Amino acid sequence: MTRISKNPEERKEEILDAAMELFLTRGYEKTSVSDIVRRINVAQGLFYYYFKSKEEVFRAVMERLARQFSERIIAIIRDDSLTFRSRIEKVVDTMHHVLPVSESILMDEIHQEEFRAIHYRLAFQIAGEVIGPIAELLATLRERGLARVKDPKLTASFLVFGVFGLVHGEDDLVHDKKNLTTDTLLDMLSGLLGVSPEVLKNI
């Protein structure tokens, strides 16, 4: 075989890309290391030159995905040109797209289970990364006299996980999803943040 050497960073990225693509479509278990290397025409050994194990690429893929989403969400939260209301709207919308694959693909039960675990794992990680910026936002609102929050970090954590749960929880167990409008959400949050709903909907 003719050999093609590449800049290690590119190569590693290439492997990561292939792995991500496959994990997201077929799932972790159904993706073999040889599937990954075949897709980019390199030998099996090369995979292990760049990654210690299949688990390790998986972790890298999860981190990349989590970073992508949390960066998007953080950008929305910090965008002062947006009202509070539309930030909520956009954030919830973005959250809906975490692992959309899991819904679009026909999967046997066994895979559903695996995707679910991955999904929740990701949701938790993203949630964690988003808490800081949310806490900042709450602190700002408090300074401006627009919210009464005792402990912004705590409230932010609670809020983030609460919303993530609403968005990602199983449809049957959680509230009716159709009820999850921005208005309903704001009504509930107004209590938590100590603002009247009217005010909250207009900042």
Query: What is the rounded CA–CA span in Å between residue 18 and residue 34?
Result: 11
Exposure string for 92-102, b = 16+ CB within 10 A, e = fewer: bebbeebbebb
Considering the rule CB under 7 A, would residue 8 count as an interface residue with DNA? yes
Positive or negative, the Cα torsion across 82, 84, 90, 91? Answer: positive
46 binds, among DNA, its own copies, none (CB under 5 to 8 A by kind): DNA
CB closer to DNA out of 118 and 147: 118
Considering the rule CB under 7 A, would residue 104 count as an interface residue with DNA? no
Q: Can you give the binding site for its own copies, defined by CB under 8 A?
A: 53, 55-56, 58-59, 110, 113-114, 116-118, 120-121, 123-125, 127-129, 131-132, 148, 150-151, 153-166, 168-170, 173-176, 179-180, 184, 187-188, 191-194
Considering the rule CB under 7 A, would residue 44 count as an interface residue with DNA? yes
Considering the rule CB under 7 A, would residue 59 count as an interface residue with DNA? no
Considering the rule CB under 7 A, would residue 108 count as an interface residue with DNA? no
For DNA, which residue of 18, 23, 27, 31 counts as binding (CB under 7 A)? 31
In the complex, minimum distance from the CB of residue 120 to its own copies, in angstroms, rounded to a whole number: 4
Helix, strand, coil percent values for the chain (each to nearest 5): 70, 0, 30
Query: What is the rounded CA–CA span in Å between residue 121 and residue 143?
Result: 34
Considering the rule CB under 7 A, would residue 111 count as an interface residue with DNA? no
The structure tokens listed for 125 are 């990680």
Cα angle, residue 69 at apex, residues 35 and 177 outer, rounded to 5° = 100
What is the enclosing helix (H) or strand (E) of 102? helix 101-104
Footprint of DNA on this chain (CB under 7 A)?
Answer: 1-6, 8, 11, 31-34, 41-49, 52-55
